[in-house]
């Protein structure tokens, strides 16, 4: 059989019903062209509406524990401030004096007194980290609602900042005696 345009046309016309038959399905199986509920939503109104309030998991026991720890941290910070004032005065008096002199020894003693409140803050930080890990494990296991770990992390960051500041103060005071 020779390939001519007429033969091609006959072949296409004879195969057309077979090809189109595969495309026909009952109407019940076809998806609807109606607008879906998601398409009918008023997106502009949703964008202008305030976001829903974030559910905060307020655990009274956790709040009480965190308040107690932060109160201890505030006390340690106040103790550090008092000791810092005395250490700063002693370091100022010892500046330029010989290592081992009376004023230098007094300044070293006063700077060493800063370690006690700093140790207290370090202990509080350790307690917060233990509480944080335990809380995360319980939240992951579904034993507790999530959200409490966020509160612990905020308290932990606060204590960490206080501790970093105290370390900086001590380092600065020691450096002032070295010269």
**CB burial string 35-65: b at 16+ within 10 A, e below:** eeeeeeeeeeeeeeeeeeeeeeeebeebeeb
pLDDT for the residue 150: 87
Eight-state DSSP code of residue 148: H
At 60 the pLDDT is 85
Q: Which domain holds residue 146?
A: 60-80+115-178
- Of the two residues 143 and 1, the one the predictor is more confident about is 143
- Flag whether 35 is in a domain: no
Question: Can you tell me the distance from the alpha carbon of 21 to that of 135, in angstroms, rounded to the nearest whole number?
Answer: 63
> Does a structural domain hold residue 106?
no
pLDDT tens for 84-142 read 999 999 988 888 888 888 988 898 999 999 999 999 999 999 999 999 999 989 888 88
Q: What are the backbone dihedrals phi and psi of residue 137, each rounded to the nearest 5 degrees, phi first?
A: -65, -40
pTM of the predicted structure, to 2 decimals:
0.63
Nearest to 148 by CA among 82, 83, 78, 61: 61
**Residue 91 placed within a domain:** no
The pLDDT assigned to 120 comes to 95
Quote the number of domains for the chain: 1
User: Does any domain span residue 66?
Assistant: yes
Contact 159, 128 (CB under 8 A): yes
Q: For residue 41, tell me if it sits in a domain.
A: no
Write down the residue that tokens 């550090």 correspond to.
80
Residues 35-93 have pLDDT tens digits of 777 667 666 555 555 544 434 456 888 889 999 999 999 999 999 999 999 999 998 88
**Does 156 fall in a domain?**
yes
**Does the residue 143 lie in any domain?**
yes
Pairwise CA distance, residues 156 & 97, whole Å: 40
Say if 29 falls within a structural domain: no
């Amino acid at each position: 059989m020779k390939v001519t345009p007429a033969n091609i046309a006959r072949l296409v016309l004879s195969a057309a019903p077979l090809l189109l038959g595969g495309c026909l399905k009952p109407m019940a199986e076809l998806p609807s062209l109606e607008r879906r509920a998601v398409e009918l939503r008023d997106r502009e109104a949703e964008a202008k509406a305030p976001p829903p309030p974030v559910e905060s998991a307020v655990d009274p026991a956790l709040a009480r524990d965190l308040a107690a720890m932060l109160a201890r941290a505030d006390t340690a910070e106040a103790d550090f401030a008092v000791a810092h004032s005395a250490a700063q005065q002693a370091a100022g008096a010892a500046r330029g004096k010989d290592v081992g002199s009376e004023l230098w020894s007094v300044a070293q003693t006063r700077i060493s007194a800063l370690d006690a409140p700093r140790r207290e803050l370090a202990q509080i930080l350790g307690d917060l980290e233990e509480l944080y890990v335990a809380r995360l494990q319980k939240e992951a296991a579904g034993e507790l609602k999530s959200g409490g770990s966020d509160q612990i992390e905020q308290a932990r960051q606060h204590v960490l900042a206080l501790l970093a500041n105290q370390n900086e103060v001590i380092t600065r005071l020691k450096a002032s005696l070295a010269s």
